[in-house]
Every structure is written in structure tokens, then in C-alpha cells.
Amino acid sequence: MPTETPTPTLLTKKDFQTDQEVRWCPGCGDYAILSAVQQVFPELGIPREKFVVVSGIGCSSRFPYYMNTFGFHTIHGRAPAVATGLKLARPELEVWIATGDGDSMSIGGNHLIHVLRRNVGVKILMFNNRIYGLTKGQYSPTSELGKKTKSTPAGSVDYPFNPLSLAIGAGATFIARSVDIFQAHLRDTLRRAAQHKGTAYVEIYQNCNIFNDKAFSGLTDKETKDETALYLEHGKPLVFGKNKDRGIRMSGTRMEVIELGGELGPDDCLVWDETQENPALSFLMAQLQPPGFPIPLGVFRDVEVPTYEERVIAQMHTETERLGVGKLEDLLRAGDTWTVGEQPAS
Amino acid sequence: MIAENERHTAVTEKIDEVVIRFAGDSGDGMQLTGTQFTNTSALLGNDLSTLPDFPAEIRAPAGTLPGVSAFQVRIADYDIHTPGDSPDVLVAMNPAALKKEIKDLKPNGIVIVNTDEFNARNFAKANITVNPLEDGSLANYRVFQAALTTMTRRTLEASGLDTKSMDRCKNMFALGMCYWLFSRPLDNTVEWLKKQFARKPNLAEANIAVLKAGWNFCDITELFHDRYEVPAARMEPGLYRNITGNVSLAMGLIAASRRSGLPLFLGAYPITPASDVLHELSRYKNFGVTTFQAEDEIAAVCAAIGASFGGALGVTASSGPGIALKAEAMNLAVMTELPLVVCDIQRGGPSTGLPTKTEQADLLQVMFGRNGESPIPIISASSPKDCFDVALEAVRIATRYMVPVVLLSDGYIANGSEPWKLPQVEELPDLRIEFRADPEGFQPYERDAETLSRPWAVPGTPGLEHRIGGLEKENVTGNVSYDPVNHENMIHLRAEKVARIARELPDVEVFGDPQGGELLVLGWGSTAGAIHGAVSSARRLGLSVSRAHLRYLNPFPRNLGEVLARFDRVLLPEMNLGQLALLLRARFLKDIITLSKVQGKPFTRQEILDKIQSLLEYKHAN
């Protein structure tokens, strides 16, 4: 392995920019995500050479080319598999995956659920624009029912995935949601993901201004955004609205929106707990959406369990302690052997 | 044991070889029985070769023809290369096994049958209408009938075991009989049983008692008039062990890891007949081996590529259907020029095909089964022990040239075994490689002048930050490039890099008449043993025939074209419809006569000999 001579830790955004011309469409939400990542990476105090950005195929997956770190633009859907092998081989590396809704939930669905269930120590940034952009506008597994696209002129008849519900179902230990243009929130969310030890799964609503413009306008438009976003903060009551006049509370097994200010106050709202081992509440939270509910943003779940690579390494240590460091001579000679001596010529 | 005066006086005859096939129901423990006979014979110094043959179903309906599981072993006092064309001895534990296997037995061969299983119920299961023990159909064989089940139960009367557990010991009765018949000691199996059932000593005792009972049964009854002895073979001095191809392959990969200094990473998904490579390697965590049982074949190879990117020795092992799934990822390794070893333990295809049977029909798949111009070196193993050397060689090529390499084995050598003279570790090839460390002037796709390989620059190395991926790369800089001329240049470079491997390959060697002759029998992979045997026999008959065997299928050894030109005709036995022949014709414009066999079984020596004779006699008749 290479010698440990870390680069200066006082890195800046510029240190993470490459000389490659960025080729996303003008106005694409990916620029905002790139900018946020390039701002957060230097803050983490990790030498640049320790970062590896792995991606699959799609607009989002061009990400590694624009990050001046080690990078691997792999094949469609397979980034989690490549990243798992890399992380097992080199656990000390900081491995981030850039993927999209099609890459990670259609062709790469299998790898996504397995990387989550294993809790491999990688961060997954899932750019959700609810459309196939690179192939010019077909519906994706997160496109809403009835979506009219090039491949669904009469409207999509597929029910969409809810990415966070899917991740919870697969056993994710960290899930969060943010929005491309909510830069401060996005950076906070990335920082939280960076601190998580296992798989961190971050859904980022990303606007594709060419093929699915304004997919998240209810959330991002000035007039409506304060009424639509529900910011999850650990240990705080679930209150939202421009005037903090609405909240979320439990009613039996369901969540409901309550008006605050009259008989009801923040104390009546559910206090958000992202650390619950049981993911039931996180799942309920992931289900909330308009109409009738706000869109939750922030950290839905953050629990700590040993990572996959930790378990693999621990097992390797245990076995080495039990058996001693393997010797090739002994390995070859294991089992039943016999000796053939010098024989007289016949 | 038995007092001397109670013994009957069987005459022990020395024979130079014997082929025994143990056959029974899948649940009868025939693989285990055969393996024990094999290991005991190995320790006696016999040369040997084995051929397991089992159904794809774990437990097909008991007593039926599809449920028959067989294990053939050939032991000899001389150098042998195949498990034998046809058995001299058939142990048939039930009517289905007799019906399925009897046709292979040599005339006048020995059949040992468990008469307890020869009843109307079992005849019905095996679609037998008349009792074969009574209808004269076995007149050409020496049939020995023994009530194995009854005698096993009687032996264990006082054991306290239930009937089902008792009956599970009956394979040991048959093994005991065979040990007596071929003058083998019991102690190796006794020790093995003690170890195997260390936590269930009553089962160890029961099996040992039944093993001895089988031996004693032959010793005191006069069932057999003759005993046989196969003396030790004349083998090169050294330390030996018996090894199957899959275990040998695993050992070779670990050896390569040690000799290269690269930690071994295997990504694999369970698939017959490759799973044993995963099983074996998963045991060696104390050798720094990481085994990753992935969610699918694609993840398995992708994880191996990720590990290679990180500076480990990335390997994946599968069989035909799995290799098909890996094709796109293998091309990623072609494009990113990362080392990777892809082991294809071939089985009968297409589709799911014959999972437990052997075939060599993936050659064209691994040669051409990817999009675009995708040159990948291909190397093949010719026998169980050869898997070890081929694994080292695959790793050498992969790391020296920064390419994915396909290693072809097949079900026959993966599960078959032979004695292996253990190599001296210090004599194994030195596979040390150097990662790029110097950031000065670093370019990700800068090429070594000799091998054309690019530097292996692993993440974590300061100053070497760079991006790779499946998009076409600009030579030297490694930046994404859609430039038409660059693309063409890169296609030529990737092809040239693989072609240059031939510079370091040994010449293909001709055995027989190196200067040329009427017929060359060329082979690749697991046909080596049968070809060796057939050509030796043909030469003893005075025929002008030679043989050569190809380990390297892409690129070919440099002298191959010239070797083919030295012979009037070239015969190529392949367990496919002529895949290597297609490549050779295209490359050398030389006609090749294909001898094809796709029955899920290896060639017999006789099949190849017959073809040689028909070719040469036909020619002489004209």
C-alpha cells in the first residue's frame, strides 16, 4: 500500500475541482450538488487522496470526472458493487457514490438493497430527478403514476418507488433527504452523511430542467416552499410552515397535521428521534407527501451498527489469531500427503 | 480381526491398474465412498485419476435413474492421465444404479450388488420389469451378490441406532469389501471417520464396525476367489497429495497472492461447479484472503474490479451462465485496464444446461461474448493439478499487462482429482509488482514501452488522484475522449497489448514427431489426458501421430501456426462443436478436423483412438 503522507489538510473547494469541462446542461441541478460536495469535502479534514467517488451511468454519474479525487465511473447500476469491493480492500478510504434514480433503483436495484443491508461504509448520493435524462426523457422508477414521457405517451402505469422507504426496508442505517438548491441544508446533510460510519443514503431532489423541469417546484418555489418543507431536527418537535403554525403528531398508528396556536402548541407535536432502532417511525415519515402533508427534509434515520468491513476485518483477525498467520508451505502440505522416495531404475 | 485359520485362501494377483465405479442413490454416500477409496490408494502410492458424476438435484427421488450418483476412480502402478474409459468393477447399491451404469462395464467385469435393494418396489422406481439378477442380462459379467443392508443392520444390532441411521452406514460395508478385494488397509478411513464424527462417537464406531464387517465378510466367505493388488506407481520423488481442480485452483490463487504481495479478493456467487473455489478460499482468512459472496454474478465481478482498483488481487469465479452476466463488467476491466482474473469452470450449456456435467463450450463466449473490440487473454487448465500453475500464470499476465484474464477450467477437472507433487514455494514464480507512487509526471494511461500496460495507481497515493471509467479514454492522459482517431488508436493499443503477451509465452511443444508427420492431435483443457492416452496407444500401433496441447488460447503461442503447418492433418477433439477449430482456421487458414463430444462426459481414450485410426487407415486405404 502507498505510504502515508497526507496532503495538507487545509484544503479548499478549488482543490476538489478538476480541469475537465463540466458537461451538464446549463441550469441542471447537478451543478448545485457538485458545488455543495466540493465545499463540504475540504471541511472534513481528510486528505484528498483518500477520497474516491464511484458512480454508475447517467447524468449524475458523470460526477467523478469533476471531482479532483480518485474516481471510478463504472457501469450502469453497479457502483455499489464496485464500491463494496474497494471498501473491503481499502477500508481506510472515504468512498462516495454518485447515482441517480434510474441507476440505483432500476438497473442497480439489487446492488442498492444489498449494500444497504450489509451496511458497507460508503456514502450514497442519489440524485432523484424522476426521469431518465441522459437517454433523453423516459420515465424512471420514481416518476409519478400517469407521467407522460417519450416512452409513456399515454402516461406511466407503474407505481413509483419511494426511495427512502425502499432504503429503510433494506435495513439502511442512515437515510436523509435534501434538495439541490437548498445549499445550506444540502451541505449540512452531506456533513451528517460524512460522519455516519455505515452506509449513508441521501436522496437529493434534483431538477432536470430539460426533461422534467419543476418536478419539485412545490418545494422549491418561493411562494410555497415554507409551507411544503418539514425540516427534521433530532430532539425537536415537528413544526413547520412559514409562521411555525403547523405540526405533526401521532394519531394512533398514523401521523396527522395539526394547526398550532390555539389549544395546541409545539409540545403537542411529535418530537423527532432519528436514532430509534426500530425504523417504523422513519418509515411513516418517509411516506409523508403532499397533498395533505409536507415533504420532510433532513435526517430520517441515523443508527450505529458495525459496518460490513469492520465485521469482515474482525473475522479475519479472529481467524488469524486462531490459526496463526498462514504459511504457504503449510497450506500446500495440508491434508493427507505421502512421500515418494528415490526408486531404482527398472 | 479374524483368526488366520478361519480365512479362506484367496490368491492375490498383482495387476497394473483397475477402474472402479461406485454407484448408488444420491443419498447413499457414493462420492464419499469413492473419495475414501481414492485417498487410501493415494497414500499407498498409486497414480490415480477420479471422475465424479452426480445429478444436479440434491436428492432426486430415491431409487430412480435420475437419482443415481457415481464416482469413478482409476488406480495404477504407472503414470496415468484419465479416470479410465470403462470400469473393471461396478459397485451398484440399487437397481437404478445397476441399470444406469452397467453398460459401461468392461466385459467380464466385476459387479457387486446390494441384493437387499433388488425388490419390486425399486424395480418399479427404476422402470425395470424383470429382475436383472435373474434374467441372464448380466451373463457377461462376474456378479457378486451381497445383502449389504441386512448385514449392515446385523452388524449394528447392538449399537442402539435407529434403522435409518444404520442404513446410512451401508456404503462403508461396500467400501470394506472393496478394500479387501484390492488389498487396501482400513486405517486411513478409520482415522478419517473418527475425525469426521468426533462429536458423534457412536456414529464413528458404527461406521468403523460396518467398514470392518465388509472387509471381514470377504475374508471369511468365499465370495471372491481372487484378490488384487495394485502396487505403488513409479512417480517422481517428492511429497504428494491428492487434489481436485477447484482446490488446486484455490491454492494457486493463494500462492499467487503470496508471490505477488497482493491481498487476494474473491467476489463470487454460488454456482455449480465453481462454488468449491469460494468454499475453499473462504477458509483461508488467515492468509489475508477476502471472500465476498455477492448478491449476484455481476456484483461479484464488480466487487473484484473495485478491489483491483484499490490494489488487491481481484478474482471472480463462476460458470457459463454467470460469465454471461459478467460480460459487461469484464469489458469495464478491459477499458479501465485493471488486472482481474475471471475463472470460468465450464459446464454443459446453453442456458442452465447441465449444471453438474462437463463441457468446453464457453471458449467463444469468453473470446467474443462482449460488446465492441474486447481482447481478453484466455488460459486453460488441462488437469486438476494444472489448475494451480494456471492460476499463477493468469495472475502474472493480469498484473503485468493490466488486463482481465479468463481462466478456463471445467466440471471434469474441477471435481476430478489426481496426485499432485507439491511444489517448493521458493521455486514458484516471482510475481511482485510495483504500484505507481511517484506523482512526478504521472499520467493514468501512460504506457510501458514493452508491455503497453498503464500504471497501477491505487487510491490513497498522494498526487495520483485521477478518474477512470468505461467511457473511451484519451491515451496517456486518461481523460474522456470522443476523438475518432484516438478511439481507433486505443482499440489497436488494447489489442496490441494482449497480442504482445505471446512474446513471453513458451512455444507449444509437440510430443511424438516434433518434425512433423501425418497427423497431429491438438487439444486444450481437460481433453489432455484422453489425448495423451490415445496418441500413445496409436503410436504403439505404429501410426504416424503426434500430440500437442494448448494452454494459451488467446493469444496463441508464437510457433503454433508453424507447428500446424508441419502436419498433413490436425485432429482437434473438443467437448463442443469445434470452437477452437473455428479460431484456428480463421487465424492460420489451416483446416482442422473436429472430433466433437457434447454428452456432459469427458472423452474416453478409445473414442479418440478410434478417430485417429479411422483417419489414418482411411488415408492409407487411399
The alpha carbon of residue A5 is apart from the nearest alpha carbon of chain B, in Å, by 7
Is A84's CB within 8 Å of B299's CB?
Answer: yes
- Compute the average pLDDT of residues B349-358: 96
pTM of the model: 0.94
Tell how far CA A252 is from the center of its chain: 31
Is B265's CB within 8 Å of A323's CB?
Answer: no
pLDDT (tens digit per residue) in A136-195: 999 999 999 999 999 999 999 999 999 999 999 999 999 999 999 999 999 999 999 999
pLDDT score for B237: 93
User: Residue A110: how many CB atoms within 10 A of its CB?
Assistant: 17
Residue B404 in grid coordinates: 482481465
Is B306's CB within 8 Å of A72's CB?
Answer: yes
Please give the share of chain B, as a percent, with pLDDT higher than 90: 93
- Which of the residues A74, A76, A122 would you substitute to probe the B interface, choosing the one with the greatest number of B C-beta atoms within 10 Å? A74
Least confident of A306-310, A340-344, B11-15, B377-381: A340-344
Is A319's CB within 8 Å of B242's CB?
Answer: no
Written in H, E and C, the secondary structure of B414-427 is HHCEEEEECCCHHH
pLDDT (tens digit per residue) in B150-204: 999 999 999 999 999 999 999 999 999 999 999 999 999 999 999 999 999 999 9
Which residues does B578 contact at the CB level (< 8 Å), separation at least 6?
Answer: B572, B592, B594, B596
Minimum-distance CB partner of A338 among B43, B234, B258: B43
The alpha carbon of residue B72 is apart from the nearest alpha carbon of chain A, in Å, by 20
- Mean pLDDT for chain B? 95
Question: Residue B596: what residue type?
Answer: S
- Compute the average pLDDT of residues B126-133: 94
Contact list in B for residue A344 (CB cut-off 8 A) is: none
pLDDT (tens digit per residue) in B21-63: 999 998 899 999 999 999 999 999 999 999 999 888 877 888 9
pLDDT score for B57: 82
| Nearest C-alpha in B relative to A73 | B469
Minimum-distance CB partner of B286 among A71, A111, A323: A323
pLDDT score for B2: 45
* A341: confidence class by pLDDT, cuts 50, 70, 90: confident
| Nearest C-alpha in A relative to B303 | A85
pLDDT score for B59: 77
Q: Return the CATH class of domain B241-427.
A: alpha beta
Is B480's CB within 8 Å of A65's CB?
Answer: yes
The alpha carbon of residue A57 is apart from the nearest alpha carbon of chain B, in Å, by 9
pLDDT score for A8: 52
pLDDT (tens digit per residue) in B486-496: 999 999 999 99
Minimum-distance CB partner of B241 among A50, A89, A335: A335
Partners of residue A70 on adjacent β-strands: A52
Is A83's CB within 8 Å of B267's CB?
Answer: no
The alpha carbon of residue B357 is apart from the nearest alpha carbon of chain A, in Å, by 27
B4-229 and B241-427 in the same fold: no
Task: Assign B503 to helix, strand or coil.
Answer: helix
Is A326's CB within 8 Å of B295's CB?
Answer: no
Minimum-distance CB partner of A84 among B255, B288, B306: B306
The alpha carbon of residue A339 is apart from the nearest alpha carbon of chain B, in Å, by 4
pLDDT score for B622: 46
Is B328's CB within 8 Å of A75's CB?
Answer: yes
The alpha carbon of residue A75 is apart from the nearest alpha carbon of chain B, in Å, by 7
**Distances from the Cα of B279 to the Cα of A324, B250, B272, B388, angstroms:** 20, 9, 12, 16
CA quadruple A208, A209, A211, A217: dihedral, nearest 10 = 80
- Which of the residues A7, A95, A340, A342 would you substitute to probe the B interface, choosing the one with the greatest number of B C-beta atoms within 10 Å? A340
The alpha carbon of residue B246 is apart from the nearest alpha carbon of chain A, in Å, by 14
Minimum-distance CB partner of A88 among B188, B254, B290: B290
| Nearest C-alpha in A relative to B265 | A89
The alpha carbon of residue A121 is apart from the nearest alpha carbon of chain B, in Å, by 14
Cis upstream peptide for B83 (omega within 30°): no
The alpha carbon of residue A90 is apart from the nearest alpha carbon of chain B, in Å, by 6
pLDDT (tens digit per residue) in A218-273: 999 999 999 999 999 999 999 999 999 999 999 999 999 999 999 999 999 999 99
Q: How many residues comprise chain B?
A: 622
The alpha carbon of residue B480 is apart from the nearest alpha carbon of chain A, in Å, by 9
Contact list in B for residue A81 (CB cut-off 8 A) is: 294-295, 298-300, 302-303, 306
Minimum-distance CB partner of B303 among A1, A81, A316: A81
B4-229: CATH topology = Pyruvate-ferredoxin Oxidoreductase; domain 3 (3.40.920)
Contact list in A for residue B232 (CB cut-off 8 A) is: 340
Written in H, E and C, the secondary structure of B175-212 is HHHHHHHCCCCCHHHHHHHHHHCCCCHHHHHHHHHHHH
Contact list in B for residue A52 (CB cut-off 8 A) is: 459
Distance, CA of B479 to CA of B493 (rounded, Å): 16
Contact list in B for residue A319 (CB cut-off 8 A) is: 285-286
Q: What ipTM was assigned to the predicted interfaces of this complex?
A: 0.96
Minimum-distance CB partner of A328 among B45, B255, B458: B255
B45, B233 in Cβ contact below 8 A? yes
Is B285's CB within 8 Å of A319's CB?
Answer: yes
Distance, CA of B478 to CA of B605 (rounded, Å): 52
pLDDT (tens digit per residue) in A37-87: 999 999 999 999 999 999 999 999 999 999 999 999 999 999 999 999 999
- Which of the residues A72, A97, A116, A329 would you substitute to probe the B interface, choosing the one with the greatest number of B C-beta atoms within 10 Å? A72
- Which of the residues B16, B286, B342, B466 would you substitute to probe the A interface, choosing the one with the greatest number of A C-beta atoms within 10 Å? B286
- Domain boundaries along the sequence of chain B: 4-229, 241-427, 510-621
Q: What is the DSSP letter of A136?
A: T
**Distances from the Cα of B220 to the Cα of B174, B610, B611, B619, B620, angstroms:** 15, 44, 47, 57, 57
Q: What is the DSSP letter of A86?
A: H
Query: How many pairs of residues across A and B have Cβ atoms under 8 Å apart?
Result: 223
User: Residue B209: how many CB atoms within 10 A of its CB?
Assistant: 19
pLDDT (tens digit per residue) in B119-128: 999 999 999 9
* B3: confidence class by pLDDT, cuts 50, 70, 90: very low
- Compute the average pLDDT of residues B531-549: 96
Task: Inform me whether the pLDDT recorded for B307 exceeds 90.
Answer: yes
Minimum-distance CB partner of A333 among B232, B239, B288: B239
Is B284's CB within 8 Å of A324's CB?
Answer: no
Distance, CA of A161 to CA of A102 (rounded, Å): 11
Contact list in B for residue A328 (CB cut-off 8 A) is: 254-255, 258, 287, 425
Contact list in A for residue B470 (CB cut-off 8 A) is: 57, 73-75
pLDDT score for A219: 94
Contact list in B for residue A7 (CB cut-off 8 A) is: 462-463
The alpha carbon of residue B308 is apart from the nearest alpha carbon of chain A, in Å, by 8
Distance, CA of B25 to CA of B94 (rounded, Å): 7
The alpha carbon of residue A242 is apart from the nearest alpha carbon of chain B, in Å, by 44
Sign of the four-CA dihedral A13, A19, A23, A25: positive
Q: Return the CATH class of domain B510-621.
A: alpha beta
* A1: confidence class by pLDDT, cuts 50, 70, 90: very low
pLDDT (tens digit per residue) in B564-610: 999 999 999 999 999 999 999 999 999 999 999 999 999 999 999 99
pLDDT score for B619: 54
Contact list in B for residue A322 (CB cut-off 8 A) is: 286
Q: From its phi and psi, is residue A18 left (phi > 0), alpha (psi between -120 and 50) or beta?
A: beta
User: Which H or E run contains B268?
Assistant: strand B264-268
Domains of chain A: 13-231+273-310 (3.40.50.970), 236-271 (no CATH)
Cell numbers 477452437 correspond to: B580
Is B241's CB within 8 Å of A73's CB?
Answer: no
B73, B34 in Cβ contact below 8 A? yes
Q: What are phi and psi of B72, to 5 degrees?
A: -105, 135
